[in-house]
Amino acid sequence: MTDMLCMWVARRHMRGIVRHVPIAAHALRRYCVDFAISPRQRELCAETVRFARQELGGRTDESDRSGSLDTEGWRKAAEFGALGWPVPREHGGSGFDPLTSALAFEALGYGCSNNGLLFAINNHVWACAIYLVKHGTERQKARWLPELCRGAVVGAHALTEPQAGSDMLALAATAHRDGSGWVLNGTKTFISNGSCADLFVTFARTSESEGPERALSAFLVPADAPGVRVTRELEKAGLRGAPMGEIQFSDVRLDADQLLGREGAGYQIFTSTIEWERGFLFASGVGTMRRLLETCVEHAAKREQFDRPIGSFQAVSHTLADMRIRLELAQLTLYKFGWLKREGRLAMLESSILKLVVSEGLLETALEAVQLHGARGYLTEGGIEREVRDALAGTIYGGTSQIQRSIIASLLGLPGAP
């Protein structure tokens, strides 16, 4: 079907009917998107939903109250393979292509109610393991990826500092040369999985003479290295099942093989990998949107007021319709992004659009879910209010909504856009 569409566009172009479509074959392919779900992908999604419903989420309330990682759920997710879905088989993973990984993480988010555990898993995969997959040496991959896939090592991404968040070029942490290695110093904060992590993908300044974009480098820093210390565990409003911490690096000695990529390539490594994090980190959020919609539809069909189900009132039914529209847009954006990455294409624009659509759509859906459930939605025992607290963070982590809009504006070529 895709090839037939491309041929149709080409014929129309030659006849002057579709003049705005480029005639080059590679350009035609961008208009021929085929991300139909295969039978095997459908089976994987069904298996994932069954697993998540049966094995995950049982300790959601406890994890939320204590602000701790559900280690039992983490172990089960690792045994199921979720911690290594996009990691090549030769390094201990499942070797799923990007679109299949997106579908699997969406199913995981649909089946599991513990959003904190979901975020800890996604952060581990898309903000740590994927950096090794894309930029690690064979020796680094062999050392760390099997352990990350087994869940024996918890991964974290140590970028943000007290005075440097969205502006990564302002990082103050330093790694200065010492023989064939480096000595790392600095403070990282708001680090997801930080207080329970075993491995940090860490960024630091390695030059004061190079330009800003060549002054940073990336390192693999074990949490048990001398000089690494968790100085604070940070209490959060939501996603409490994914612990957050502040990390201090004091004269941490790093060997040459702990450099990720080449020296001075930290900024390029981050910018080339962040689209994976921004895009796929929100796949589970799409599943959560579906779960919330179905919960609200069921409630609206059963809850009666004025001798009729509240779903029969237009104000309620239109709210549910808006939830469904947001879900459809989120799914289509996710699947397109997954398809683009499967095809080996850059997708910086699409990753920013996806993050906005899902994070803001999920928050709006969660807020409307509270409203539809009334007082019951505001009680902690129902779990709906927790969905709002968990959704709030999505518009912040991975780059705020404002940053995403600035990226989109800059890619439009607007004069003066950042």
Catalytically active residues are 277
Residue 250, SS3?
strand
Q: In the 8-state DSSP scheme, what is residue 126?
A: I
> Any idea what DSSP says for residue 164?
B
Q: Is 27 exposed, middle or buried (0-12, 13-18, 19+ CB in 10 A)?
A: exposed
- Closest among 74, 85, 158, 81 to 120, alpha carbons compared: 74
Reading the block at residue 100, the tokens are 């299949």
Strand partners, 203: 218
The C-alpha atoms of residue 121 and residue 80 are separated, in whole angstroms, by: 12
Enumerate residues 6+ apart whose C-beta is below 8 A from 133. Answer: 86, 87, 88, 91, 141, 145
What is the spatial distance between Cα 242 and Cα 121, in angstroms, rounded to a whole number? 9
Q: Tell me the CA distances in angstroms from 299 to 302, 306, 315, 367, one per residue in order.
A: 5, 16, 15, 15
Q: How far apart are CA 87 and CA 101, in angstroms?
A: 10
Q: Give the whole-angstrom CA distance, residue 202 versus residue 225.
A: 13
